[in-house]
Amino acid sequence: MNTATRDEGGPDAGPPNQGTKVLDEITVTRRVTQDDVRRFAFAIGADDPIHHDVEAARAQGYDDLVAPAYFFVSLGMPIGVEVPITELREDGLARTNGGGRRVAGTTEVRWFEQICAGDEVAVTRRRMAPTVTEGKSGTLTIFPSVFTFSVNGEVVVEQRAVGIGR
Amino acid sequence: MKESKTVMEPGTLLVTRTVQPREVDLFLFSAITWNPHRIHYDRDYARTEGYPDMLVAGPHQAALLAQMLSDYARSCGGRVESMAVRHRSPAYCSQVLELEAVVSRAAVDAGWCRVEADLRIRAADSLVVTGRAGLMLPVA
């Protein structure tokens, strides 16, 4: 039973990014493999057999391996930054990220369905126009973005993230 | 990784977990998310930015929280519906991180309990992450 609806607001732990001007939008499609699921699970220490053993996943009613809850970041984070090494800054970030140091700010996630191995996931990233504000440690640039992850035309995960540039 | 569960009542601990991301964890998470930011895998570079050590990436912290919640919900036959987190201070490589979810509200409807929980990640001397989560759990 999932009572979350795709058009209601989720919990708000940070600056809103709704209503901000969309800077750009890009959509890519990724086919999720069993190896993708297992590797992400290993990387975060997720040892539930449904992430590693197809029979265990099937016993729980799934067709294939179930991706860990936060697996979607492995599909979303590479978007727009899969560039040649020569396009990386000294700190390793892609030049497309803009200037300045960057740290994580806030993230809101809503889950509607599980992502499983075999799914073809359409990943859309919308970058919103950055805004500038004054923080305790000086001027901060706020970089909001919205990611949607869809399978068969239905949004399965939505993520609203805010990065902070110093 | 240690884990414990308590009864589901407002104001009480829902689930907690202790993790200690080390160098290989930081490397693997950077690799799996295609994150070339050197502060997460290059100790010498991280120090040039004034950090005492490599930083555990924000999405890595969130992934650990989400997995704790997901494992707990699945063990009860439920699911996690939402999570929101704010990164308040850095977490560094090999720090012991205490993750916790505390019930802030619980309401029963049609055989399901909608649980709202406050989230925290604490390091030894700092509050690293705060947030909230929404879970749907079957009523026992």
CB contact under 8 A, A104 and B58: yes
Q: From first to last of its 140 residues, what are the pLDDT tens digits of chain B?
A: 444 343 478 898 999 999 999 999 999 999 999 999 999 999 999 999 999 999 999 999 999 999 999 999 999 999 999 999 999 999 999 999 999 999 999 998 888 999 999 999 999 889 999 999 999 999 87
Strands (E), chain B: 2-5, 13-19, 79-87, 97-109, 112-122, 127-138
pLDDT value, residue A100: 73
Distances (CA, A) of A93 to A12, A38, A132: 28, 26, 20
pLDDT value, residue B7: 46
The residue length of chain A stands at 166
- pLDDT (mean) for A91-97: 81
ipTM of the complex in this document: 0.92
Taking each helix axis from N to C end, the angle separating B23-32 and B58-75, rounded to the nearest 10 degrees, works out to 90
Q: How far is A21 from chain B (nearest CA, A)?
A: 22
| Domains along chain A with CATH numbers | 22-165 (3.10.129.10)
B1 has a chain A CB within 8 A of its CB: yes
| Amino acid making up residue A146 | V
Which residues in chain B are contacts of A45 at CB distance < 8 A? 1, 19, 25, 64, 67
- pLDDT (mean) for A126-137: 88
pLDDT digits (tens, 9 = 90+) for A26-45: 999 999 999 999 999 999 99
Which pTM does this prediction carry? 0.90
Within 10 Å of residue A16's Cβ, how many Cβ atoms?
13
